[in-house]
A and B are shown apart, each in its own frame.
Chain A
């Protein structure tokens, strides 16, 4: 019997997700078996339509599979109730999007507070934690600014702070550098790998191999299936990722 530390944090078993597009049935995910260990940094790469974003959304509980199992922390969220799925999104998962998805009328601080407000944390506590997180992201001076007053890199760092607000064990990033120039993209990837080094399980969807290189494990997808698994390169240089455990 495996000990707790050896048990994978994510275990996907013959997972499929089909969409109906007019008369045809499209398999975005066509039978995937995958295990991801606690503290791993995994990149999902592949051409568009390969099912990498769908896979990320399934793990994040934003989508439900057509068949198969999604075990996260010992719970099969493929069969979980709506209530449990909301709980899963709120407590286990932090999402980082390509387009940041910050609420435009709210300040950086309020955006970071949001998941904690949803979680029912009292205002004083959540403000303190939001400030702390923004300082960690190097945005201590920008807490009162609205997204429109921040640069792309700053916005993405606010989004990362928001993703971390409820202390998730898994961070899911969908093309986190897609809207950034290469310099700020590198900066954001450094931040994410630093967080991974602190023990956070990281799954990044990207089509950019230089971004994927930061991960300890690169999973190539094509037509909803795993084409191959490679070791990352960048992680060895910086000493992070799966080897850092």
Chain B
């Protein structure tokens, strides 16, 4: 029997039992809808993250000093972390000397939660200094400067960048913000031991950020030296982290290896990307398993429907065999019928999943806008790819076929004479 004729016959048989076919395929539809929605969400978010990372440049290598872990229960927020090998200025110079390195940015850790105030033109208000870890800087939203310029990540950077929110909290009007850039400022800090000290700096700029203030590395160093009362702190403790920019993408992994061999921890955006992808895959599988459960139930429904159909059509099977159908023809015919029930559910499920994604893509940004929350990434959350469509259709058909194999096998093995006698 020709394959086209088997397909046509299977379609005709399904068309004869429309209600039953549709009802049976609903289970598959629900399962595929769930899977398509979940996986498209996974793909959408993954795409956002991947695009963001790629835009930042995969040629970046993050360098962190190895820090011995404090014993559990003995955590002290005021304790100085002692790296095994500090990222001292000398170490940073050696990083710069590695072949393929274009530039190195450094980041200095701050003492935990110092109480401090800032004085500009005789006006004093409390500020919080923002920790600047390189990954947060990469994955956070880029800040827009309202006035002045942003603080650079060089070792000699001086000045302070104040956020709009902080200044508004201190009573400044929008019109006054632009005039602040370039003004002299004084930071007053109180240490836990009770000492007070003041540091002179200047306002570098005003950002639209929602967090406190950011201080240049050179100013930070002065503050830190006084806080720990240790003028050699940079040599002994080193920088908190360094960001190495390599000449090209190909250099990144090699530089990372060299950094490791120098006794530091390295991480490239590629490793972030790999880790992110791994997490997304696990997430997708977990979310999809809800759909898989629905498909499992659906496949039992298909088995039931096919067993019923074969019972009803026993005589027909006998006739087909009497006129020369092989067991294989009968097997293929019924397996394909079951596969088509699956495919029908799959097609409807994919279309609904795609439409649901479109609707949610339109609704979610509206909702966030209504809540006044800026979106962390641009608004496409659900992405249905052709691979997903093909995979979902293939999978739904496969579920049907697998569910149909056992009933079809029973049909194929029917004794023709017994089948012909069946009423």
Chain A interface (Cβ < 8 Å from any Cβ of B): 57, 60, 62-63, 82-83, 86-87, 89-91, 95, 97, 101-103, 105, 114-115, 117-120, 123, 162, 166
Contact = CB atoms under 8 A, between A and B. Distances in A.
28 contacts: A60-B322, A62-B321, A62-B322, A63-B417, A82-B326, A86-B321, A86-B325, A86-B326, A86-B327, A89-B321, A89-B322, A89-B324, A90-B325, A95-B323, A101-B322, A103-B316, A103-B319, A105-B12, A105-B16, A114-B320, A115-B324, A117-B9, A118-B1, A118-B320, A118-B323, A118-B324, A118-B329, A119-B324
Contacts of B323: 89-90, 95, 114-115, 118, 162
B416 interface: yes
A125 B263 CA distance: 81
B321 A97 contact: no
Interface of B: 1-2, 5, 9, 12, 16, 315-316, 318-327, 329, 416-417, 420
A86 B5 CA distance: 18
Contacts of B327: 82, 86
Contacts of A82: 326-327
Contacts of A101: 315, 318-319, 322, 420
Given A87-B324, A89-B323, A89-B324, 9 more contacts: A57-B417, A63-B417, A89-B322, A101-B315, A101-B322, A102-B319, A115-B323, A118-B324, A119-B1
Contact of B324 (A63, A91, A97, A123): A91
A232 B329 CA distance: 41
A114 B329 CA distance: 13
Contacts of A118: 1, 320, 323-325, 329
Nearest to B12: A105
B324 A86 contact: yes
Which 7 A/B pairs are nearest by Cβ-Cβ distance?
A: A90-B324, A115-B323, A86-B326, A89-B324, A118-B325, A117-B5, A101-B319
Nearest to A168: B324
A115 B1 CA distance: 9
A97 B326 CA distance: 20
Contacts of B315: 101
Given A103-B316, A117-B5, A97 B420 contact: yes
Given A62-B322, A89-B323, A115-B323, A120 B417 contact: no
> Would you call the interface of chain A mostly helix, strand, loop, or mixed?
helix
B20 to A, nearest CB: 15
Nearest to B5: A117
Contacts of B5: 117, 120, 123
A72 to B, nearest CB: 14
Of B319, B320, B420, most A-chain CB atoms within 10 Å: B319
A156 to B, nearest CB: 15
A63 B324 CA distance: 13
A95 B319 CA distance: 10
Contacts of B420: 62, 97, 101
Contacts of A95: 322-323
A87 B2 CA distance: 15
Contact of B416 (A62, A102, A117, A119): A62
Nearest to B16: A105
A116 to B, nearest CB: 9
B46 to A, nearest CB: 48
A90 B9 CA distance: 18
A123 B1 CA distance: 12
B321 to A, nearest CB: 7
A75 B321 CA distance: 20
A122 B399 CA distance: 31
Which of B16, B323, B417 has the most CB atoms of chain A within a 10 A radius of its CB?
Answer: B323
Contacts of A83: 326
Nearest to A88: B324
A119 B324 CA distance: 8
A87 B316 CA distance: 19
Contacts of A90: 323-325
B317 to A, nearest CB: 11
A64 to B, nearest CB: 10
Contacts of A115: 323-324
B417 A117 contact: no
A231 to B, nearest CB: 31
A82 to B, nearest CB: 7
A162 B324 CA distance: 12
Contacts of A119: 1, 324
A171 to B, nearest CB: 13
Contacts of A62: 321-322, 416-417, 420
A234 B416 CA distance: 34
Nearest to B315: A101
The residue among B16, B315, B322, B420 with the most chain A CB atoms within 10 A of its own CB is: B322
Contacts of A97: 420
A133 to B, nearest CB: 14
B327 to A, nearest CB: 7
B1 A120 contact: yes
Contacts of B12: 105
A120 B3 CA distance: 9
B324 A166 contact: yes
Nearest to A60: B322
A6 B59 CA distance: 91
